[in-house]
Amino acid sequence: MSGTSERMLERDEQTTLWLRDNQINSIRSQIPEVGKLGPEDCQECGNDIPMGRRQHGYDLCVECASVREVKHGR
C-alpha cells in the first residue's frame, strides 16, 4: 500500500472513531445520572416534579416530558 493510501485509511479510521464517540456522548447526555436528584420544579413549566422522577434525575414534569416525546416521535 502506498503512503497516501495508508494516510487515507488512517484518516477514515479516525473519522469513524470520532463519529462513534460523538454518538455515544450524545446518547449518554440523554440518560439521567444515577443517584443525582433532579430539580424540584419542571425546567419548562415550573410545576412540581414527582419525587420518583427526581430520583431518576429527570428535569421535566410528566406532562412536559409527554409533550416533548410526542413532538420528537418517541
Q: Where are the domains positioned within the chain?
A: 1-31, 34-74
Q: What pLDDT does 72 receive?
A: 87
Q: How confident is the model at residue 26 (pLDDT cuts 50, 70, 90)?
A: confident
Nearest to 51 by CA among 65, 39, 33, 43: 39
pLDDT value at 22 more than 70 = yes
CA distance 32 to 14: 29
The residues pairing with 41 across neighbouring beta strands, listed in sequence order, are 48
Q: What pLDDT does 74 receive?
A: 65
Q: How does DSSP classify residue 7?
A: H
The 10 Å Cβ neighbour count of residue 11 is 10
Q: What pLDDT does 27 receive?
A: 84
